Amino acid sequence: MGFDLQDKRVIVTAAASGIGQTIARSFLDAGARVHVCDLDEELLEAFRKSAPGLGTTQADVADPAQVDRLFDDAIARQGGLDILVNNAGIAGPIGPIETLDPEGWNRAIAVNLTGHFLCARRAVPLLKQAGGGSIANLSSTAGLFGCPNRTPYASSKWGVIGLTKTLAMELGPSGIRVNAICPGSVAGERIERVIRAEAESRGVSVDDVRKSYLKQSSMRTFVERDDVASLVLFICSDRGAKISGQALTVDGHTETLTV
């Protein structure tokens, strides 16, 4: 099934690697014009060289001035915007709340939630100028369940869903649809880092934590990056034209996030 995204103007945040890069490549493959940002300049340059036509900006989405630079670069290059994918997010500190420091909490909220706000704030006038469009906010199944020992992450991802539903109501009359994507555990280095950190925090083996994560899903599997990208493209294309205000899971059906 193809997606009608030819020449759509797209921004994807935190897209030099991981899920963000897979999403950005999927948009490029569908004929869209894509501009991405990331903190890692070397990864950005490597992605740009491997993807002709890709625009890049080094930016931290938690910094309003750097978000402004991202959007200024994208507008200069693409002339406007049709789709924003707020992908930027970090795992945040892991452990019981009494062991966590405010700095780690603040950084997780700044990247995972405030960054979405700052990018949406700049994107909305452009989407209105375009006559409508789509915002896809990356949340998580942790935004739908309590998640012990992941307080900053889960709180920020719940906040993303609140932001999504509110913006869908606010922007619907302008033809702008807003949805949250809630992946389960996505296979790759990031989830492996989380597993190792949780194993250390709980004093158990890495294999025990990995098995407990797999048991959280009815299908006993991690999600692939392509699974997430396919859902993002669907809701941002005309095939998803009547879908807005939703928290859409791609997770093999999460039963619980407790262990």
In this structure, the chain runs to a length of 259
Q: Distance between CA 38 and CA 51 in Å, rounded?
A: 15
Q: Is 213 a catalytic residue?
A: no
Q: Distance between CA 183 and CA 98 in Å, rounded?
A: 28
What Cα–Cα distance (Å) separates residue 79 from each residue in 48, 73, 127, 150, 238?
19, 10, 12, 40, 21
Rg (CA), the chain: 18
User: Which member of 153, 158, 213, 222 is catalytic?
Assistant: 153
Active site residues: 153
